[in-house]
Amino acid sequence: NAGVTQTPKFQVLKTGQSMTLQCAQDMNHEYMSWYRQDPGMGLRLIHYSVGAGITDQGEVPNGYNVSRSTTEDFPLRLLSAAPSQTSVYFCASSYGAGGYTFGSGTRLTVV
């Protein structure tokens, strides 16, 4: 049982490049979400999904796209990377009223 797996763990992008952060869970959780955490700050919700085919925006969705074609996967796409998107990105999943399981994070630097 791997839990929530995020790849890559580290990434450096140039301004304007695009990339996809991967998130996969093997717990059959219907709820998945993406958060970003800037240095010394709390978590901010980017996008979330309540099931396959359903996504919605969080607090800071601009510059990011998501899709949920399967229950297991919830990739986060950066369309045109900007230095302001330098952050640590966490994916989380949950089932029902249960607690979230978080991934170990992706540290992204945009230069």
Residues that bind other proteins (CB under 8 A): 31, 33, 35, 41-45, 48, 50, 56, 58-59, 90, 92, 96-105
Q: Which is nearer to other proteins, 72 or 95 (CB)?
A: 95
Question: Token pair of 103, please?
Answer: 């991934």
Q: Which is nearer to other proteins, 15 or 26 (CB)?
A: 26
CB 100 within 8 A of CB 91: no
Q: Which is nearer to other proteins, 85 or 93 (CB)?
A: 93
Give the contacts of 25 (CB within 8 A, at least 6 positions apart): 3, 4, 5, 32, 72, 74, 91, 93, 101
Provide the minimum distance between the beta carbon of 35 and other proteins in the complex, in angstroms, as a whole number. Answer: 7
